[in-house]
Structure 1
Amino acid sequence: MPRTTPPRPLDVEALFPEVAAHRRDAVRLHPRPGAPGVRDSSMGGPLLWPRAEPWPHCEDDHPRTAFSPPPAPEPLPLVPVLQLFAADVPELPFPPGTDLLQVLWCPFDHEAGYVPRPELRWRSASDCADPRTAEPPRPAGAADDYLPDPCALHPERVVDYPNRDLPEEVSEALEERFEQLEEETGWSYWSHLSVSEGIKAGGYPTWTQDPYWPDCPGCGHRMEHLLTVNSCEFDGESWRTWLPVEDTPATGTVWDLPYEERTRIQCPPGLMLGDMGGIYLFDCRRCPDRPYAYHSDCS
C-alpha cells in the first residue's frame, strides 16, 4: 500500500515567500514490515551482494555504556540498513555507472555520537549476477533498537522547507509572523510546515539539536545531505502533518490507538537511536571518490 503525506494545511510559500528560495525536494521512504528480496529497495532486508565479495566487518573499539555493553573483541559483521535502487529513488545522486546504494552499519555504539557507525556502497546492479543468498548477519549481543526489521519501502516525493537550517536573518525577519500564524491557526511552521519527518532521501536533515554540516576532508567544501535515518515517522508535535493518510485512524487520533498498534505506525522498522534521535548521512559530490560522513543527534 502506498503512503501519502497529507497536503500541507497552509500554502507555505504564499504565507512566507522568503522561504521559497530554500525549498528542497525530499523522498520519504515510508518503510513498512514486509519480506523484501535482494532485488528490492528495502530497509533491513537482504542486499544484492556479490557472492564473491567478502561481507564487511567492523574492527573498531566499542565503548561500554549503560545501555550498550561492548561486544566480544572480534570483527563484527555489519548489518543491512537501506538498499535503494535508482528505479525507485532516481533523485539520489548516483555516481556514473551505478544504480544501487547500500547502507550498512555496525549495530553497536561508537565513540562518534554513541550510535551505530554506517558505511555506504554504490554499485551497479548488473555487476551482481551471482548474488549472496545467505540471510543478512545479526551479530550476537546487538541491541534490537539498532537492528532494523525487514521492511518494504513506499517512496513518496515531498517538499522540505528549512527548519533549523533557515538562515538566521530570514528566521529573525519571520519570527513574529510565525508566532502570529500559530496563535491564529494552531499550525507551527517549525513542527508542521517545514522539514518532513521520517526516513528519507534528500531534503533537509530533521535536526533535533543545532545543525552540523560536515566538510569534505578532500576538497574542504560542505557536504550535501544524502539520507536521514530517524527513529520514527512523526512525533508528538509533528504527527498532524507527517502521519500518512493511510495510517490515520478512522476515529480519534493516532495517540488513541493501543501502544503496540501506534508503535507499528510510528516506528515500523523498530529502531530507536538515542532518545527519538536520527543519523544523518552526507556525501561530497565534487570529489570522484564520493567521501561521506555522518552525524547524529537526539532529544
Structure 2
Amino acid sequence: MTALEGSMGSLPMFTTPNRPLDILAVLPELATYARRATRLHPRRGNPAAEASSVAGPLLWPEDEPWPTCSLPHLVTVRREATAEEQARSPRIRESPAAGLASVNAKFEEIRARFPTDPNVARLASRWYDGQSRIPAVAPERVPAPTIITTQELVPTEHPVPLVPVVQLRTADVPEIPFPEGTDLLQILWCPHLHTTLRGPQQHYYGPAPSIFWRTAARLAHTIAPGPAAGGVGGYVLEQCTVHPEHITEYPDPEDLPEPLQEQIYAWEESLGDESAFDYRNDLSLAPGLKTGGWPYWPETSRSVRCDCGSEMYLLLTLPNGERGADSWNPLEECSQTGEDYNEELDDPTRFSGAREGILIYICHRDPHHEPWIAIE
C-alpha cells in the first residue's frame, strides 16, 4: 500500500495514513501486482441525487419504471408446531418470552466475556434495538408454539421493488472500466434471500444485484425510493454520503505465487512476535466499502472468469463493517481504536448478512454481461 493518494469532491476528506512500511522496498516483486482501488469512506448523511452515495436518492430516466425482482425468494414460513414436534424439542415448548429471556441471558454472558470487542458491541446494539421494536404480548394472548422453516417462492402477484445500494460517478471511481459513453454506475438489489445467482457458492444465500450504467446528462428525473417492505434487514442499507480516496492495494498472500508467499512469511517471521504490523492486515488490502483493488478470500483464492472467457473485474466490495486494523483508520479519526465502538464510524451502512462481505465482479471485456457475486 502506498502513501495517501488524495480524495476528490467538496465533501470532507478522509485520508489513509502512510503504511507502517513501504512493502516495495522489502519485496519489489510486488510492484507488478499493484491495483488501484477507491476507499469510499461512507458516513451517514443526506446525499444529493447527482452525487455518489450509498442507498441515497438516484438520478433516473423519467420514462423508466422502477425495477422489481422476479427471481424466486427464499422466505420464512411459520406454522404451528405439531404435538409430536413439541414433544421432540423442549425449545419449541418454551413460551416466546421465556425463550427470549434465555437467549438474552446467554448473550449477556458473551458481552461480559468480551466487553471491549467492537463486533460484539455492534451485535448487541442490533439485537436489543430489534427487540425494542417488538410489541409486548399479553400472557393470555401468547400464540401457540411455531416451527420456522424456509421455502422458495416466486413473487408473481406482488413484485418486490429493488432498493439502492450505491450510485457512483466515474470521476469518483476512475479505476472502474465504465462502458463507453457512460459516467454513472447504479447498483440496486432485491433485499430478499436468493439461491439462484451466478457465483462461486454451490448454495448461495443472498441479495440479487442489478447493475445499471447511465449517462448523467441524460437523466433529468430524481427518485428517492421509500422504505423497503419486508426483506432481510441487513440488506436494506442506511443512507450515506461517500468520501472517495484513491489508493493502491496489493494481493492477499493467498492470491500470490507460492515463492512470493514464502518470501512474505519469511520476512514476517524475521520481524518477530513483537511486530506491530504484518503484511495481510496492514500492507495489502484496505478494509471498508471500496471499488476495485483486490479481493479477500477467507478460505481459498479463486480465479474469476466470465462465461465469454474474459477475466472479471472486482467492481465493489461491500463489507460487514468498515473497521480493519487500526493502521487503516483515517487520519481524521485516528483517535478511534479497535477497542472503541462507534456505530456511525464502524458500521455506517448497517450491512449484514455475510461473515466478511459481498463481492461483485463484472466482465472486463463487456460490463453488461451477467455479474458474478460472492458472499464471504
| Band the TM-score falls in, shorter-chain normalisation | 0.7 to 0.9
Question: 1:220, 1:149 → 2: CA distance?
Answer: 36
Q: 1:42 to 1:71 in 2, by over 3 A?
A: farther
Residue 54 of structure 1 is matched in structure 2 by 65
Question: 2:17, 2:272 → 1: CA distance?
Answer: 19
Task: Report the secondary structure of 1:13's partner residue.
Answer: helix
Residue 128 of structure 1 is matched in structure 2 by 219
How far is the alpha carbon of 1:68 from its aligned partner? 8.5
Task: Report the secondary structure of 2:321's partner residue.
Answer: coil
- Kept after mapping to 2: 8 A contact 1:5/1:242: yes
Tell me the matched-pair count: 284
How far is the alpha carbon of 1:102 from its aligned partner? 0.4
How far is the alpha carbon of 1:64 from its aligned partner? 4.0
Q: Give the residue type in structure 2 aligned to 1:222.
A: E
Please point out which of 16, 19, 24 is paired with 2:30: 19
Q: Which protein shows a greater Rg?
A: 2
Q: 1:15 to 1:184 in 2, by over 3 A?
A: farther
Question: 1:25, 1:90 → 2: CA distance?
Answer: 9
Q: 1:162 to 1:150 in 2, by over 3 A?
A: same
Q: Deviations over 1:3-26 (max 9, x none)?
A: 111110111111122222111111
How far is the alpha carbon of 1:213 from its aligned partner? 3.7
Task: Report the secondary structure of 2:225's partner residue.
Answer: coil
Residue 345 of structure 2 is matched in structure 1 by 265
Q: Give the residue type in structure 2 aligned to 1:199.
A: L
Higher helix share: 2
- Kept after mapping to 2: 8 A contact 1:182/1:188: no
Please point out which of 302, 307, 311 is paired with 1:212: 302
TM-score with structure 2 length normalisation? Answer: 0.70
Question: 1:67, 1:225 → 2: CA distance?
Answer: 34
How far is the alpha carbon of 1:29 from its aligned partner? 0.5
Residue 104 of structure 1 is matched in structure 2 by 188
Please point out which of 55, 73, 85 is paired with 2:169: 85
How far is the alpha carbon of 1:89 from its aligned partner? 2.0
Higher alpha-carbon deviation: 141-150 or 52-61: 141-150
Residue 319 of structure 2 is matched in structure 1 by 230
Q: Sequence identity of aligned pairs in percent?
A: 40
Q: Deviations over 1:198-257 (max 9, x none)?
A: 11111101333323343211x21321212111122224xx2x2221121222xxx53443
* 1:176-255 alignment runs, 5 A limit: 176-181=266-271, 183=273, 185-217=275-307, 219-235=308-324, 238=325, 240-249=326-335, 253-255=336-338
Residue 364 of structure 2 is matched in structure 1 by 285
Question: 2:235, 2:314 → 1: CA distance?
Answer: 22
Task: Report the secondary structure of 2:316's partner residue.
Answer: strand
The two structures, once aligned, show a CA RMSD in angstroms of: 2.3
- Kept after mapping to 1: 8 A contact 2:193/2:232: no
How far is the alpha carbon of 1:290 from its aligned partner? 4.2
* 1:1-12 alignment runs, 5 A limit: 1-12=12-23
Question: 1:149, 1:207 → 2: CA distance?
Answer: 26
Question: 1:256, 1:4 → 2: CA distance?
Answer: 21
Q: Give the residue type in structure 2 aligned to 1:61.
A: P
Q: Deviations over 1:85-132 (max 9, x none)?
A: 122222221111100000111111111531211111001011112x14
Task: Report the secondary structure of 1:97's partner residue.
Answer: coil
Between the two structures, name the one with larger relative contact order (CA 8 Å, sep ≥ 6).
2
Q: 1:68 to 1:176 in 2, by over 3 A?
A: farther
Residue 159 of structure 1 is matched in structure 2 by 248
Q: 1:216 to 1:264 in 2, by over 3 A?
A: same
TM-score with structure 1 length normalisation? Answer: 0.87
Q: 1:288 to 1:144 in 2, by over 3 A?
A: closer
How far is the alpha carbon of 1:37 from its aligned partner? 1.9
Shift >6 Å, 4+ stretches: 65-72
- Kept after mapping to 2: 8 A contact 1:68/1:109: no
- Unpaired runs of at least 5, structure 1: none
- Unpaired runs of at least 5, structure 2: 1-11, 77-147, 198-203
